[in-house]
Amino acid sequence: MRNLFRSPLTWMILAEVVVVAALVAVAWSVVGSAARPAVAIPEVAAPDSAPADSEVMPDISSITGQASHGPLPGLNLSPSFWRARLAELNGDEAWMAQVEWRIVRGAMGAARDYVEKVVLPAIRRAEGAAPG
């Protein structure tokens, strides 16, 4: 039993068990906190009594003029919008394909040069030096 505790393998296994237990505990707390719903607006306590002489708030729309409306929520169905987005996407995709092809072509050239300049001469020398 004494030799078991003197072995470094025992301490390594014990340390690994501790690390795995810590990781499981962290994962458990992360999953547990993700399962709880987040509060979008914190609760604010309303004042107990409003002052009797409170001033009436002015109408905001009369101060700022006509309220401007932004785009409606949802999917933009305008053909010109999609034509512009897809043209931009196609341009980016073509550029990425050219970059990938340059990388592949460079790797193929490097491999071909290595085979022609290093591997084949070594094979020819080995075949020429071999008896028979």
pLDDT in tens, 104-128: 999 999 999 999 999 999 999 988 8
Is residue 23 in some structural domain? yes
Query: What are the C-alpha distances in Å from 97 to residues 9, 53, 89, 106?
Result: 51, 71, 12, 14
Is residue 86 in some structural domain? yes
Model confidence over 66-92: pLDDT tens digits?
556 666 677 777 888 888 888 888 888
Find tokens 């006509």 and name the residue.
Answer: 66
- Using a cut of 0.85, tell me whether the model's pTM lies above it: no
Is residue 20 in some structural domain? yes
Is residue 67 in some structural domain? no
Is residue 107 in some structural domain? yes
Is residue 53 in some structural domain? no
Domain extent, residue 5, equals: 1-32
Is residue 91 in some structural domain? yes
Query: What are the C-alpha distances in Å from 76 to residues 10, 71, 98?
Result: 63, 9, 31
How many domains does the chain fold into?
2
Q: Which long-range contacts (CB under 8 A, 24 or more apart) does 68-71 make?
A: none
Is residue 39 in some structural domain? no
From first CA to last CA, the distance across the chain in angstroms is 64
